[in-house]
Amino acid sequence: MNRNLIRNFCIIAHIDHGKSTLADRILELTGAVAEREMADQYLDRMDLERERGITIKAQAVKLDYQAEDGRTYLLNLIDTPGHVDFSYEVSRSLTACEGAILLVDAAQGVEAQTVGNAYLAAEAGLAIIPVVNKVDLASADVPAAVAELIEVLGCEPEEVILASAKSGQGVRDILEAVVRKVPPPAGDESAPLKALVFDSFYDTYRGVVAFIRVVEGSIRKGLKVRFMSTGNGADVEEVGIFTPDMQTSTMLHAGQVGYVITGIKRVDIIKMGDTLTDHHNPAPEALKGYREPKAMVFAGLYPVDAADYDDLHNALEKLKLNDASFTFEPETSKAMGFGFRCGFLGLLHMEIVRERLEREYGLSLVCTAPNVVYEVVMVDGKVQQVRSASEMPDPSRVREVREPYILATILVPSEHLGAIMDLCNERRGVFQDMTYLTPSRVELRYRLPLHELVLDFYDQLKSRSHGYASLDYEHVGFFKGNLVKLDILIHGDPVDAFSTIVTRESAYNYGKQMVGKLRELIPRQLFDVPLQAVVVGRVIARETIKAKRKDVLAKCYGGDITRKRKLLEKQKEGKKRMKMVGKVEIPQEAFFSAIKIREGGEHK
Amino acid sequence: MMVYVHIPFCLSKCAYCDFNSYAGAGALLPAYLEALGREMENWRRCAQHEPVSSVYIGGGTPSLLTPAQAGDILEGIKRGFGLQAGAEVTVEINPATWNGSAMREAVARGITRLSLGIQSLDDGVLRVLARPHDAGAARRSLEEALASEAHSVSVDLIYGVPGQGTAGWEAGLGELLDMGIPHISAYALTVEENTPLASRLARGELQLPAEEETASMYLETCEILKARGYRHYEISNFALTGHTCRHNEGYWERRPYLGIGAGAHSFAGGLRWWAPEGLKEYIRGMREGKAHYGVEILDSSTAHSEEIMLGLRTDRGVPRTAIAIKPETFRTWAQEGLLRRTEERLALTDKGMLLSNELISTLMP
């Protein structure tokens, strides 16, 4: 294959801006997938992804494109995840490319994450092709979207392609731009092998299938290879390309994108961003930018039925096979028995994992309120990681508690600027800077505790900007905070699952709202249930759930029995979604919904 | 075996009613009675039956039949299946229908038990319920029933009605006790979907009493009736000695029964089945000999659920061996005074009955 005819590119877009639809059109146009085989959005393979309209795991596909210059090009389309939790994954996918299509919805305009990813792409030296999508929508404001792209990218107006992925308008122009503007891959084919692992998935029969971009040298079946971050060695069992189905090939050369199978069974050995090299002729140094995936948000996952513990364990093991960024270890809760403390990249990542466990493994789970990871400096100077409120040491032994901060980039229409700045200030945000992208759109940067994001910052951002603000973030490290542990007592017993770490100033309001919310969420029981919020041994708020008094079917005679039994069966079914905590039945939703509270916050 | 006969005709639809009954369909009555006869004949031919221990003619409003028509139905059952000596034969009576002489005639034709749907002795309450009679008619009807020489007389009452009030309820109850009615069914008002009552409540024209008030009305009722010698033998049923409704006890003990009539349910041999609900569909089905019955096959776990659900409605409860209960749950319930336990059986207290859905659904397998 003539390397000059290869183009490696990806599509950067915000959720719902039409990335998957554009990918589908490209697949159709290049004949990679026959129209009749197209389930909509072919690249999003998991049901869950398709349902949420987002892409979680990157995918890659090889396309043959007959360009207007008469030559046939080999295009590698690398799909990237579309959510802020997965920015590291995005950056790895970008490194596998020489070019990126920056896709913006004509009605929505540029979103924070798109800007963030566009900057990442620019930093990685990618050629960027700006595209305004959905230009045929009635609500489209094409000139505004074009103006924003020009401001963000510093490009020329004529460079912006107007398209409608839905109708196919402009798709050929996009592919021509890919051929014209994206440089062919460079890289010395005779140098020692350097291949970037930009994704992987687990196949029950073959083990881990790693997606790679060969940067230098070449890779073939039988080669003994090594993963440079871990030093793990392996033999190449198979290499190939995605068409989009896997197709074996004899060798992958510098510039090519494909897959490699080594027989390794654990996805955490083959890490995203790692460099694969020749064991006998290794590259002197690995590719830049590798990072250990680090879970920043933690929550407890417990089976509703204690008997499901082993099933949950197995399911977590299996999920972990496909997702190295997710962590888990056994945890015991007084309230909920045996479960696991799980670490996630962010909230969406957490929800996805939970939904997959329930849906794909048929488990009924209780998920505790998520919290961030804290660094606790002890009196003796030792630093301890705290991943749940129950791990928080006694205050007398603690010198200081540090919490993780993020740098948030927020894009907001100027009419909502005040509301969003108020929100950031309420959430302990520290203003960094502000740029007008256009007269009507502002880029705002704040430093914020990650804890605030885990609470309901994102919901609030959306609600206070009527859905128009968008957010991107990066982690900036741990900083000291004035933090205390808040306990919730239900029927006199502390329920560790509801314990949380809050700022001292917010403890009273938080506790008050927490017990207020729990009073609504916990159904009435057969007895009165007092609820108390406690900080350092002092009750700061209380509520009582009055006992249920009457729940009875007045009549039940010969003709009623089937119907009345079904009513009671339904009631019993409802109980399965409840967790017994002491004597009190608590619905699972309570464990999650209880955290969505905040002073003055509107709830969805 | 027990036999239930359904008479789905009414003078008018009451505001709370979602039963299978029709107002203004009187023209279909003769054809319906004929269909009842055909259905009985079908069942007579298809199996051997033990003689009938109880008959219950319910509705709807069975007292829209003449006493002679009711008597004919009973005769049909006797001829078809045989009637045990001393069998209980109940007819439900609306006070707007049969007078004293009609009741006496019915008794003469073999009816042993008159169940009067008076619901209340308060005209305001009767108007809210849209009953076709007033309190005066109800009182008259009761006196005539007591004078009819029926073996037993029962009344149906409803409490927890908008605007009723605890004092009004207790006054009505006292009046009935003074009359010496030997059997009382007291039902908490249930608001069923798609009834005029549900719409009026939804529009805010009426307001249900607080749950707390209805709950204490129930507990008061239990106290008052027990003090007067009534046995609280099922959630909503109270009787003086010798006056429990054996037919209904049969339902709660899961004895076999044959239902005759539109939508009437039958139960035997682990099966439950029911005829079409619509009047015309039922009549046509019986005439043409191809009615479509609904059938439910009860597996052992479902049967077990029903045993618990029905048994715990009664003061006899269920055998302790029939239920699995966690010790901590048992302790909590016992502490809250919801359970009664004998050596071999477990039953609910009055307070427990008031929360029976919660308890039963927890205990169902």
Lowest mean pLDDT among A80-84, A463-467, B361-365: A80-84
Of B251, B285, B307, the last residue of a domain is B251
C-alpha to C-alpha distance for A287 and A274, rounded to whole angstroms: 8
* Element holding A9 (H helix, E strand): strand A6-13
Q: What average pLDDT does the segment A518-541 reach?
A: 93
pLDDT exceeds cutoff 80 at A89: no
Considering the domain boundaries, does residue B133 fall inside one? yes
The reported pLDDT for the residue numbered A595 is: 56
3-class secondary-structure state, position A557: coil
Query: For residue B267, what pLDDT is reported?
Result: 96
Please report the pLDDT score of residue A82 as a whole number.
57
Cα B332 from Cα B325, distance rounded (Å): 11
**Residue A603: its pLDDT value, please?**
32
Pairwise CA distance, residues B236 & B313, whole Å: 9
Is pLDDT above 60 for A37?
no
What is the number of residues in chain A?
604
Residues B96 and B156 placed together within one structural domain of the fold: yes
Q: Once rounded to an integer, what is the mean pLDDT over residues A14-35?
A: 76
Are B251 and A561 inside 8 Å of each other by CB? yes
Q: What does the pLDDT read at residue A297? A: 86
Please give the pLDDT value at position A456. 75
Lowest mean pLDDT of A290-304, A489-503, B43-57, B133-147, name the range: A290-304
Per the structure, the complete domain to which residue B20 belongs is given by: 2-251
Which of B222, B309, B314, B330 has the most A C-beta neighbours within 10 Å, making it the best mutation to test the interface with A?
B309
Report pLDDT for A237: 94
What per-residue confidence (pLDDT) applies to A318?
Answer: 82
| Banded model confidence at residue A146, pLDDT cuts 50, 70, 90 | very high
Tell me which chain A residues have a C-beta less than 8 angstroms from the C-beta of B297.
none
Given a cut of 90, is residue A368 above it in pLDDT? Answer: no
- Chain B residue with CA closest to A560: the answer is B265
Do B310 and A556 make contact, defined as CB atoms within 8 angstroms?
Answer: yes
pLDDT of A1 reads: 63
- Per the listing, tokens 């209805």 go with B214
In terms of C-beta density within 10 A (0-12 exposed, 13-18 middle, 19 or more buried), how is residue B30 classed? exposed
The beta-carbon neighbor of A551 closest among B257, B272, B357 is: B357
The answer to whether position B215 is within a domain reads: yes
Q: For position B349, what pLDDT does the model report?
A: 97
Inside any domain, residue B188: yes
Q: Examine the pLDDT at A459 and tell me if it is beyond 60.
A: yes
Domain termination residue (choose one: B235, B251, B267): B251
Contact B264 A557 (CB under 8 A): no
Give B215→chain A minimum CA distance, Å: 6
Say if residue B66 is in the same domain as residue B162.
yes
* CA distance to partner chain A, nearest, from residue B365 (Å): 9
**Looking at residue A83, what is its pLDDT?**
59
Residue A552 is nearest to which of B235, B332, B333, comparing CB atoms? B235
**Structure-block tokens of residue A528:** 């009165």
B174 in the same domain as B304? no
Domain harbouring B321, CATH code: 1.10.10
Query: What's the gap in Å between the CA of A171 and the closest CA on chain B?
Result: 54
Select the residue from A493, A524, A526 to test the B interface by mutation, using most B Cβ atoms within 10 A. A526
Check B358 against A527: CB less than 8 A apart: no
pLDDT in tens, B248-273: 999 999 999 999 999 999 999 899 99
Given an 8 Å threshold on Cβ–Cβ distance, is B313 in contact with A556?
A: yes
Please judge whether A557 and B248 are an interchain contact, meaning their C-beta atoms are less than 8 angstroms apart: yes
Tell me the nearest-neighbour CA distance from B187 into chain A, angstroms: 5
Residue of B nearest to A578 (CA): B362
In a domain, B276, yes or no: no
Residues B306 and B233 in one domain: no
Of A62, A322, A64, nearest in space to A213 by CA:
A62
Q: Which residues of A touch B4 (CB under 8 A)?
A: 558-559
Do B174 and B304 belong to one domain? no
Query: Among candidates B118, B115, B113, which has minimal Cα distance to B74?
Result: B113
The b/e string for A382-396 (b: 16+ C-beta within 10 A; e otherwise) is eeeebbbbbbbeeee
Q: What's the gap between Cα A537 and its chain centre? A: 37
Residue B88 near residue B126, CB atoms below 8 Å? no
Residue B69 CA, chain-centre distance (Å), reads: 21
Total beta-carbon pairs less than 8 A apart between chain A and chain B: 104
* Average pLDDT over all residues of chain A: 85
Alpha carbon of B349: minimum distance to chain A alpha carbons (Å) = 13
Q: Do B235 and A554 touch (CB under 8 A)?
A: yes
ipTM score here? Answer: 0.95
Whole-number pLDDT of residue A604: 29
Answer whether residue A58 shows pLDDT above 70: no
pLDDT exceeds cutoff 90 at A466? no
Q: Tell me the pLDDT tens digit for each residue of A416-441.
A: 999 999 999 999 999 999 999 888 88
**CA dihedral of residues A110, A111, A117, A119 (deg, nearest 10):** 60
Are B247 and B313 within one domain? Answer: no
Band (A594; pLDDT cuts 50, 70, 90)? low
Alpha helices in chain B (DSSP H): 29-46, 67-81, 100-108, 123-129, 135-146, 166-179, 196-203, 211-227, 246-252, 279-288, 300-311, 327-335, 350-354, 356-363
Q: Which of A559, A569, A572 sits opposite B265 (nearest CB)?
A: A559
Rg over alpha carbons for chain B, rounded to the nearest Å, is: 21
DSSP state of B43: H
pTM given for the model: 0.64
- Domain-embedded: residue B111: yes
Are B244 and B340 in the same domain? no
Does B174 lie in the same domain as B94? yes
Which residues of chain B lie closer than 8 angstroms to A552, CB-CB? 188, 235, 353-357
**Based on the domain organization, do B17 and B117 belong to the same domain?**
yes
Q: What is the pLDDT of residue A602?
A: 33
Q: Which of B233, B238, B271, B361 has the most A C-beta neighbours within 10 Å, making it the best mutation to test the interface with A?
A: B361
Whether residue A16 has pLDDT greater than 80: no
* pLDDT tens digits along B311-326: 999 999 999 999 988 8
Task: Report the length, in residues, of chain B.
Answer: 365
Q: Which of B54, B357, B359 to mutate to test the interface with A (most CBs of A within 10 A)?
A: B357
> Taking CA A194 as the corner, what is the angle to CA A192 and CA A195, rounded to the nearest 5 degrees?
145
A374, A501 Cβ separation under 8 angstroms? yes
User: Which residues from B are below 8 Å from A553, CB to CB?
Assistant: 190, 235, 356-357
Given pLDDT bands bounded at 50, 70 and 90, which one contains residue A499?
confident
Q: Are residue B183 and residue B36 in the same domain, yes or no? A: yes
Which pLDDT value is given to residue B184? Answer: 98
Residues of B with Cβ-Cβ distance to A576 under 8 angstroms: none
Is pLDDT at A293 greater than 80 in this prediction? Answer: no
Instruction: For strands B2-7 and B52-59, give the pairing.
Output: parallel
Contact list, A549 vs chain B (CB under 8 Å): 211-212, 215, 354-355
Same domain for B238 and B312? Answer: no
Name chain A contacts of B261, Cβ cutoff 8 Å: none
Across B137-163, average pLDDT: 97
**Are both B97 and B212 inside the same structural domain?**
yes
- Most confidently modeled range among A264-273, A274-283, A297-306, A385-394: A274-283
Q: Residues of A with CB below 8 A from B354's CB?
A: 549-552
pLDDT of B284-311, one tens digit each? 999 998 899 999 999 999 999 999 999 9
Residue B306 burial (C-beta neighbours within 10 Å; 0-12, 13-18, 19+): buried
pLDDT at A56: 39
| Selected residue with higher pLDDT from B95 and A288 | B95
Q: Is residue B267 part of a domain?
A: no
Output B143 or A45, whichever has higher pLDDT: B143
Instruction: Give the per-residue pLDDT at A84.
Output: 57
Are B190 and A526 in contact (CB < 8 Å)? Answer: no
Counts of helices then strands in chain B (DSSP H, E):
14, 17
Q: What percent of chain A has pLDDT over 70?
A: 91
Give the pLDDT band (50/70/90) at residue A600. very low
The whole-number pLDDT of residue A85 equals 64
For A218-265, what is each residue's pLDDT tens digit? 999 999 999 998 888 999 999 998 777 778 999 999 998 899 999 888
Q: Are A262 and A210 in contact (CB under 8 A)?
A: yes
Please indicate whether, in this complex, the C-beta atoms of A562 and B265 are within 8 angstroms of each other. Answer: yes
The two beta strands, B9-10 and B22-23, are parallel
Cα separation, A52 vs A42, whole angstroms: 14
> Number of folded domains in chain B?
2
* Interchain proximity A562–B354, CB inside 8 Å: no
Measure the CA–CA gap between B350 and B215, rounded to whole angstroms: 10
- CB–CB of A568 and B360 under 8 A? yes
Residues of A at the B interface, defined by Cβ within 8 angstroms: 526-527, 548-559, 561-562, 564-565, 567-569, 571-572, 575, 583
**Which H or E element spans position A421?**
helix A417-426
Amino acid at the residue A198: F
For residue B114, the domain's CATH number is 3.20.20.70
B-chain residue closest to A576, CA distance: B362
The residue from B195, B217, B251 where one domain ends is: B251
Condensed to tens digits (0 to 9), the pLDDT of residues B218-241 reads 999 999 999 999 999 999 999 999
On chain A, the residues whose CB falls within 8 A of the CB of B252 are: 556
Alpha carbon of A118: minimum distance to chain B alpha carbons (Å): 54
Residue B65 lies in a domain: yes
In a domain, B85, yes or no: yes
Whether the predicted pLDDT of A374 surpasses 50: yes
